[in-house]
Homo-oligomer: A and B are copies of this chain.
Amino acid sequence: MELSTYLPYLVNRLGQRFVSEITPALNKAGVNIQSWRVLIALYQGGKQTVGDLSELTSINFSTLSRVLDRMEDKNLARRQRGADDARSFTVILTSKGKAVTEKILPYAKDLEVLATSDFTEAELNKLRELLSKLYIGLGSGNKVKERMAG
């Protein structure tokens, strides 16, 4: 049993460390890690339904519902009844939400630059590629959960 070969372990500890490194800076801007992810998803992907956002961010939909409540309270985003399907809500960044996102995006980039000072450009690209590929592989669209349950 050599744990350093366990990808889930490596990914998880890295993710946790990243979160604890970036959280203080985000908090100063009144944003927590979940709303950071939602802001980014909206900033990048444009308006989306709550469900799409939940899928995209992997934030549990009831958690997300409340994250959105808080973001609306802070005037970062707002919900709009779906025009075609009135069960759904479309979530939209407000202009304040856009501004805040643009303010905090550099934090992540700064952190990346500091953390990767001894990476070559090729390594960085490879890592990005493999992280994306693994993300896809882990996708909730596949049979992972079903097989794990057995």
B-contact bits for A32-65, CB 8 A (1 contact / 0 none): 0100010010011000000000000111100000
Contact present for A58 and B117 (CB under 8 Å): no
Quickly give the copy total for this chain.
2
Is A10 engaged at the interface, CB distance under 8 Å to the other chain? yes
Is A83 engaged at the interface, CB distance under 8 Å to the other chain? no
Contact present for B111 and A9 (CB under 8 Å): no
Residue of B nearest to A3 (CB): B44
Chain A interface mostly helix, strand, loop or mixed?
Answer: helix
B-contact bits for A1-39, CB 8 A (1 contact / 0 none): 101111111111111111111101100000001000100
**Which residue from B5, B57, B115, B140 sits with its C-beta under 8 Å from A128?**
B5
Q: Which residues of A contact B (CB under 8 A)?
A: 1, 3-22, 24-25, 33, 37, 40, 43-44, 57-60, 105, 107-112, 114-119, 123-124, 126-128, 130-135, 137-140, 142-145, 147-149
